[in-house]
C-alpha cells in the first residue's frame, strides 16, 4: 500500500477541484509509460474513466507515450495504439520539434503533464515541460503539472550549475546536476525565476517527504525511459550520464546501463583498482566484462568497471564519475576521446561540455586536476543555486 499520493491521485480525487478546470474541460495530456497510479493504471485511462476531463490529444516526449523509442531516436507516433487518440510528437528529427506548435494547442482548455523525472539536470522531460509552458503562455492555455516523487530524494544537491551559454535539451537553465527537486518544484522555478510566465497549476503530492527514495513511497517503479530500468539506475545517473560524452560505453545495450562503463581498449582491472584507491564515499568498484547489444561498441567485448552503490546517503554520483572519466583518460590517453557526433540536436559543442555545464571542467579533467580542485570551481554557484532552490520547495523533510 502506497503511503504517497501523487498529483494524479489528488487531481482525480472525488472531492478535487480539478486544478481549477471546469468539469468537461478539453485537455491534452503529456504522458509516458511511468504515468501510472499506485495500481499501475495509466494516467490516460484514469482520466478517460473519470470522465470529468475530456482527453482529446496526447503529446509524446522523448521515447514516446508508450516508451518504445531509444535515446535520441525520433518519435514518430501519430496515433496511440491503446486509446486511438491522436499523438503530437515533442521529439522529432529537428530541434524545432521539441516545442509544441500553436496549432497543436488549438481547442484545448489545458495541457496536463504527468511524467516521472529522475532527479538529474540532463533528463529531458522537464525541458519538454518548459517548452510546453512557453508555448502555452503565449496561447493563454493553462499547464497542469501532476507532481511525482524525485526518486533519488529531495535533500542531496550536487554538481556544477549550468552556465547559460551551454544551454541545450540536456540542460536549459542554471540548475545543479543533482537538483533535489520534484517536477512541480522545478516547474515553479522555471516559471518564476526564469521568466516563463505561464498559467501554471501544480497538483502536489501528499505524504511525500524529501528524504524518501522511491522505494520508500510504496509506489510501483515503472521505467520512465528504456535505459532507466531501476531506482538504482536513477541513483547512478547524475554521474553515469557523463559517460555519454565520451567514446566509452555507458552500458546501453546491456542490462546495467550507467552502472557499467568500458570499451574494448581499456584495462578494466587497472581502472577499478585506481578507483578504489580514491576512497570515494559510499561506492565500490569491480572489474567487469560486457558486450553491448546496441549503441557504442555494439557486438564487441568491452572491459571496464561496474559501479556498486554501498551507501546512498554518502554516495556522490557526479563526483564519482568525474573521477572515473579522469582516470579512464589517464589510463588510455591514446584511445580515450570525447564524443564528437551531434548530441541532442547540438553539433557545435562537445557533448561532455553540455553535460558538465561548464567548459573549464573538461580542461581540468584533461589536466588530471584533483576532485577537490574541480569541486571548488563550482562551489559558489552551487551555494547560490541552493539559496534560489529553497524558495520553491513544497515538501517537508
DSSP 297-350: TTTS-EEEEEEEES-TTT--HHHHHHHHHHHHHHH-TTT--B--S-BTTB-SS-
Under 8 Å between Cβ of 109 and 26: yes
Each residue of 145-154: pLDDT tens digit? 999 999 999 9
Percent of the chain whose predicted confidence (pLDDT) is above 70: 100
Query: What are the strands of the beta sheet with 143-146, ordered from one edge?
Result: 87-89, 53-60, 25-31, 110-114, 143-146, 200-203
pLDDT reported for residue 1: 60
Domains, in order of start, for the chain: 7-222 (3.40.50.12170), 231-357 (3.90.1150.140)
Each residue of 54-74: pLDDT tens digit? 999 999 999 989 888 788 889
Each residue's pLDDT, cut to its tens digit, for the chain (397 residues) gives: 678 999 999 999 999 999 999 999 999 999 999 999 999 999 999 999 999 999 999 999 999 898 887 888 898 889 998 899 999 999 999 999 999 999 999 999 999 999 999 999 999 999 999 999 999 999 999 999 999 999 999 999 999 999 999 999 999 999 999 999 999 999 999 999 999 999 999 999 999 999 999 999 999 999 999 999 999 999 999 999 999 999 999 999 999 999 999 999 999 999 999 999 999 999 999 999 999 999 999 999 999 999 999 999 999 999 999 999 999 999 999 999 999 999 999 999 999 999 999 989 999 999 999 999 999 999 999 999 999 999 999 998 8
3-class secondary-structure state, position 140? coil
pLDDT reported for residue 397: 84
Each residue of 333-377: pLDDT tens digit? 999 999 999 999 999 999 999 999 998 999 999 999 999 999 999
Amino acid at each position: 500500500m502506497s503511503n504517497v499520493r501523487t498529483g494524479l491521485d489528488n487531481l482525480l480525487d472525488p472531492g478535487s477541484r480539478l486544478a481549477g478546470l471546469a468539469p468537461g474541460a478539453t485537455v491534452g495530456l503529456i504522458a509516458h509509460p511511468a504515468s501510472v497510479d499506485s495500481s499501475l493504471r495509466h494516467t490516460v485511462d484514469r482520466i478517460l474513466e473519470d470522465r470529468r476531463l475530456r482527453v482529446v490529444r496526447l503529446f509524446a516526449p522523448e521515447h514516446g507515450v508508450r516508451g518504445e523509442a531509444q535515446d535520441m531516436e525520433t518519435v514518430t507516433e501519430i496515433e496511440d495504439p491503446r486509446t486511438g487518440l491522436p499523438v503530437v510528437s515533442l521529439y522529432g528529427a529537428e530541434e524545432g520539434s521539441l516545442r509544441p506548435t500553436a496549432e497543436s494547442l488549438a481547442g484545448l482548455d489545458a495541457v496536463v503533464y504527468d511524467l516521472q523525472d529522475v532527479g538529474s539536470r540532463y533528463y529531458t522531460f522537464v525541458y519538454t515541460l518548459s517548452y510546453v509552458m512557453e508555448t502555452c503562455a503565449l496561447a493563454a492555455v493553462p499547464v497542469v503539472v501532476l507532481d511525482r516523487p524525485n526518486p533519488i530524494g529531495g535533500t542531496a544537491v550536487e554538481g556544477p550549475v549550468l552556465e547559460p551559454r551551454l544551454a541545450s535539451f540536456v540542460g536549459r537553465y542554471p540548475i545543479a546536476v543533482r537538483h533535489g527537486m520534484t517536477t512541480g518544484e522545478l516547474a515553479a522555478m522555471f516559471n518564476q525565476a526564469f521568466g516563463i510566465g505561464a498559467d501554471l497549476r501544480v497538483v502536489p503530492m501528499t505524504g511525500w517527504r524529501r528524504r524518501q527514495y522511491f522505494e520508500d513511497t510504496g509506489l510501483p517503479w515503472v521505467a520512465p525511459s528504456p535505459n532507466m530500468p531501476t531506482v538504482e539506475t536513477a541513483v547512478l545517473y547524475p554521474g553515469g550520464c557523463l559517460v555519454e560524452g565520451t567514446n566509452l560505453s555507458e552500458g546501453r545495450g546491456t542490462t546495467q546501463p550507467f552502472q557499467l562503463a568500458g570499451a574494448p581498449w581499456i584495462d578494466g582491472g587497472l581502472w577499478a583498482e585506481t578507483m578504489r584507491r580514491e576512497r570515494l564515499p559510499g561506492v565500490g568498484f569491480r572489474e567487469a566484462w560486457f558486450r553491448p547489444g546496441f549503441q557504442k561498441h555494439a557486438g564487441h567485448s568491452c572491459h571496464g568497471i561496474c559501479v556498486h552503490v554501498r551507501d546512498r546517503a554518502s554516495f556522490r554520483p557526479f563526483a564519482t564519475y568525474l573521477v572515473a572519466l579522469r582516470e579512464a583518460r589517464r589510463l588510455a590517453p591514446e584511445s580515450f576521446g570525447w564524443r564528437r557526433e551531434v548530441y541532442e540536436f547540438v553539433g557545435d559543442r562537445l557533448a561532455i561540455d553540455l553535460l558538465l555545464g561548464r567548459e573549464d571542467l573538461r580542461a581540468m579533467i584533461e589536466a588530471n586536476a584533483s576532485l577537490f580542485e574541480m569541486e571548488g570551481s563550482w562551489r559558489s554557484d552551487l551555494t547560490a543555486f541552493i539559496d534560489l532552490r529553497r524558495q520553491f520547495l513544497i515538501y517537508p523533510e
